[in-house]
Amino acid sequence: MAEPLARSRIQRNLTEMRRRYSCPMATPDFVLALREKIGTAPLWLSGVTAVVLRDNEVLLVRRSDNGAWTPVTGIIDPGEEPAVAAVRETLEEADIVAVAERLVWVHVIDPITYPNGDESQYLDIVFRLRWESGTPHPADGENTDAAWFPLDALPEMDNDMRARMQAAVDNDPEARFVA
């Protein structure tokens, strides 16, 4: 009996956290639960960047929080395999079915402070994915657009996102990392 009540209380708390920290980007429930305990203190998270390629095109999404064009990105759920997270995020964000071909880069991104004061830093794991099917569109509200771009006609993109994409396009035999 206590377990359903505890779940109900947790769900109410998560709903309140989503309302209080309203943001166009979805925040996983486990992060909201952690934020309830630690407030805005720095949080170390693992994330993926999914660079989806189709012939000489790359899938990009326009983020709803800042309007930037980027490859698909997302937070890895607890216990989730990183390559599975890359495939899942691609389907959730752009309605594209893709297959993870390989790991191309592992790096740490600079700390981020969100508008609500939350601080995070990410270990980013970049995968090269191959398009299987689907027509891109913003499928989950985290993005305002999703489209294929020819590799030689990319929209403006920050240097970090361009480097992530280039690592997948280069397709070097070894994954990149900082030693």
Question: Angle 65-82-144 (CA atoms, 0-180°, nearest 5)?
Answer: 20
- Domain layout of the chain by residue ranges: 40-170
List, for residues 122-157, the tens digit of each pLDDT value: 999 999 999 999 999 999 888 999 999 999 999 999
Query: Looking at residues 71-98, what average pLDDT do you find?
Result: 96
d(CA 118, CA 79): 23
At 179, the pLDDT band (50, 70, 90 cuts) reads low
- 9 compared with 117, residue with greater pLDDT: 117
Question: Angle 36-40-43 (CA atoms, 0-180°, nearest 5)?
Answer: 90
- 27 compared with 104, residue with greater pLDDT: 104
State the pLDDT at residue 113. Answer: 94
List, for residues 42-75, the tens digit of each pLDDT value: 999 999 999 999 999 999 999 998 999 999 999 9
H-assigned helices in 21-95? 29-38, 82-94
H-assigned helices in 115-156? none
Whether the per-residue pLDDT at 1 is higher than 60: the answer is: no
Bridge partners (DSSP) of residue 133 are 97
Q: Which of 95, 102, 96, 104 is nearest to 131 (CA)?
A: 96
Whole-structure pTM value: 0.83
What average pLDDT does the chain have? 88
The CATH class of the 40-170 domain is alpha beta
Question: Angle 162-168-174 (CA atoms, 0-180°, nearest 5)?
Answer: 125
For a pLDDT cut of 70, what percent of the chain falls above it?
Answer: 85
State the pLDDT at residue 8. Answer: 52
- 3 compared with 101, residue with greater pLDDT: 101
Query: Looking at residues 83-112, what average pLDDT do you find?
Result: 97
